[in-house]
């Protein structure tokens, strides 16, 4: 057989084999993606919690550009040649999938047909329906840190444009409510613009990030902080991110007051009077850069005001040789229970009112199941705390009363959204069911 014949034969085999291998590989990947979507649905993780993509199958050409652009990886995959959101609950609204789509087949929306999301009305300049009150960050539906930082800056740019020719000798130009990423970015921009401002937060510097469990991984994309410059981080733990934000605040001597809760915002003439737990501020504009977490939800049982009851876990290492109860069935509760179970001498019970803990990340599911199997965490499903005493806690589990020796209780059952307070100010909300 001549060399020329051999080349023709090999070429012919490759022409037939390569497309076949490609098709088989695509079928295999499609099957895996379908299985991932089914697992998400069975686990109750089929509802996105934030801004997320909706793919138009009539426009999608299956290029895979969106799947490669997603920083989280695995959230978007191809099923039968079309992009699909296979891990909806993990999507946190990066939006890079939409930008990467070559045929505009992706729309970013809030809520789904099953699960509505209340979003305040915000204009293009981040002003609400109430003239002079602005919103930036998580409250407006943008939970991603990079987006929150960008919105905080842009909102203050809008404020600066409105007040630059309206200086008064008495009122502040701006009160910023919230000292998370959006609030810190807004504070930096306010200083850059030369505005007279103050930033207040009912808790601590860092906002929602501060309440994360120790060493929790936070997804941070490259971003730019006003006055500070570029910040290039990918996946970083809570502590280094807080250290960065703290150093920025100190370096630029930002006027941020922590432990100061806003109780009321009222219009007075052309200005607003912001009443807090520590005083009052007269201001021309208000920027709300608060989270959607709101005030921690309470159990509502006798004894809950005990000093041993807390609503967040900042440092698990402080607790050892303790009898601990964690209440809740979400990621925060599971993360806390597992973290506490890893310290010497702790006895940890996890109480949840539902039949199963299912609306949590897969990694957390695996960790808590392993902790239960190893006897490090005792899981009490279908249970409710009924009474708290100095040395004991009482739990009803399907009609059976359990009495547990107890030193510390962590209640992690979500928060009361600030919607009611904001509506009392006059801010209008819209419940979105899969709408942009």
Q: Which CATH number does the domain housing residue 277 bear?
A: 3.50.50.60
Of the candidates 62, 88, 109, which is a domain's last residue?
109
235-237/271-276 β-pairing? unpaired
80 in a structural domain: yes
- Partners of 325 in the β-ladder: 349, 409
| Domain co-membership, 428 together with 376 | no
Among candidates 190, 140, 196, 145, which has minimal Cα distance to 166?
Answer: 196
| Domain co-membership, 290 together with 317 | no
| Domain co-membership, 426 together with 381 | no
Phi, psi of 220 (to 5 degrees): -130, 125
378 in a structural domain: yes
Residue 335, classed as helix, strand or coil, is: helix
The alpha helices in 101-198, defined as continuous H runs, are 145-163, 181-193
Q: Whole-angstrom Cα distance, residue 255 to residue 360?
A: 37
| Domain co-membership, 128 together with 246 | yes
- Partners of 274 in the β-ladder: 265, 281
386 in a structural domain: yes
Token digits of residue 343: 């310290």
| Domain co-membership, 29 together with 101 | yes
Of the candidates 47, 75, 109, which is a domain's last residue?
109
381 in a structural domain: yes
Contact 150, 186 (CB under 8 A): no
In this prediction, the residues of the chain whose per-residue pLDDT falls under 50 are 215, 217
| Domain co-membership, 279 together with 350 | no
User: What pTM, to 2 d.p., does this model score?
Assistant: 0.67
Token digits of residue 195: 């505005």
318 in a structural domain: yes
Range of the domain at 364: 309-414
- Alpha carbon separation from 295 to 99, 137, 312, 391 (Å, rounded): 35, 17, 11, 27
| Domain co-membership, 404 together with 426 | no
Please give the torsion angle defined by the CA atoms of residues 321, 327, 330 and 334, in that order, rounded to the nearest 10 degrees.
10
| Domain co-membership, 42 together with 129 | no
Which DSSP symbol is given to 343? S
Indicate the number of domains in the chain.
3
| Domain co-membership, 273 together with 192 | yes
pLDDT one-digit tens code per residue, 28-37: 877 887 888 8
- Alpha carbon separation from 111 to 53, 95, 142, 178, 219 (Å, rounded): 10, 15, 13, 24, 22
| Domain co-membership, 342 together with 259 | no
Contact 142, 93 (CB under 8 A): yes
pLDDT one-digit tens code per residue, 390-415: 999 999 999 999 999 999 999 998 77
pLDDT score at 393: 96
330 in a structural domain: yes
Count the helix, strand and coil residues of the chain and give each as a percent rounded to the nearest 5: 30, 30, 40
31 in a structural domain: yes
- The domain spanning residue 24 has which CATH number? 3.30.70.20
| Domain co-membership, 340 together with 409 | yes
pLDDT score at 310: 86
Compute the residue count for the chain: 436
Of the candidates 109, 127, 159, which is a domain's last residue?
109
| Domain co-membership, 403 together with 343 | yes
Burial class (CB in 10 A: 0-12, 13-18, 19+), 19: exposed
371 in a structural domain: yes
Residue with token string 């547990």: 404
């Amino acid at each position: 057989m001549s060399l020329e014949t051999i080349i023709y034969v090999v070429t012919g085999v490759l022409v037939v084999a390569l497309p076949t291998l490609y098709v088989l590989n695509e079928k295999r990947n499609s099957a895996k993606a379908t299985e991932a979507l089914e697992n998400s649905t069975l686990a109750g993780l089929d509802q996105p919690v934030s801004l997320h993509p909706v793919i138009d199958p009539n426009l999608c050409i299956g290029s895979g550009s969106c799947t490669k652009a997603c920083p989280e990886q695995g959230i978007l995959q191809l099923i039968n040649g079309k992009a699909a959101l296979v891990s909806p609950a993990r999507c946190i609204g990066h939006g890079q999938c939409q930008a990467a789509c070559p045929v505009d087949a992706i729309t970013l929306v809030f809520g789904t047909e099953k699960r509505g999301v209340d979003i305040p009305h915000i204009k293009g300049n981040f002003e609400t329906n109430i003239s002079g009150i602005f919103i930036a960050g998580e409250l407006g539906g943008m939970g991603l840190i990079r987006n929150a930082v960008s919105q905080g800056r842009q909102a203050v740019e809008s404020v600066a444009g409105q007040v630059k020719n309206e200086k008064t000798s008495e009122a502040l130009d701006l009160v910023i409510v919230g000292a998370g990423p959006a609030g810190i970015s807004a504070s930096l921009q306010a200083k850059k613009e030369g505005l007279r401002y103050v930033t207040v937060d009912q808790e601590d510097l860092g906002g929602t990030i501060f309440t994360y469990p120790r060493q929790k991984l936070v997804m941070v994309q490259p971003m730019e902080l006003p006055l500070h410059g570029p910040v290039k981080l990918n996946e970083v733990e809570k502590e280094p991110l807080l250290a960065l934000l703290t150093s920025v605040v100190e370096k630029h001597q930002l006027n941020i007051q922590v432990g100061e809760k806003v109780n009321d915002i009222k219009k007075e003439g052309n200005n607003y009077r912001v009443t807090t737990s520590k005083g009052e501020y007269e201001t021309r504009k208000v920027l709300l850069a608060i989270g959607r977490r709101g005030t921690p939800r309470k159990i509502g049982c006798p004894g809950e005001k005990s000093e041993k009851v807390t609503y967040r876990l900042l440092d698990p290492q402080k607790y050892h040789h303790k009898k601990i109860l964690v209440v809740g069935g979400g990621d925060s509760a599971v993360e806390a229970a597992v973290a506490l179970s890893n310290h010497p001498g702790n006895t940890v019970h996890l109480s949840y009112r539902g039949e199963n803990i299912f609306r949590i990340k897969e990694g957390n599911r695996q960790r808590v199941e392993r902790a239960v199997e190893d006897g490090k965490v005792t899981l009490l499903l279908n249970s409710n705390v009924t009474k708290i005493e100095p040395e004991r806690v009482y739990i009803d589990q399907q009609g059976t009363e359990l009495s547990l020796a107890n030193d510390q209780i962590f209640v992690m059952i979500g928060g009361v959204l600030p919607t009611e307070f904001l509506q009392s100010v006059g801010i209008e909300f819209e419940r979105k069911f899969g709408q942009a």
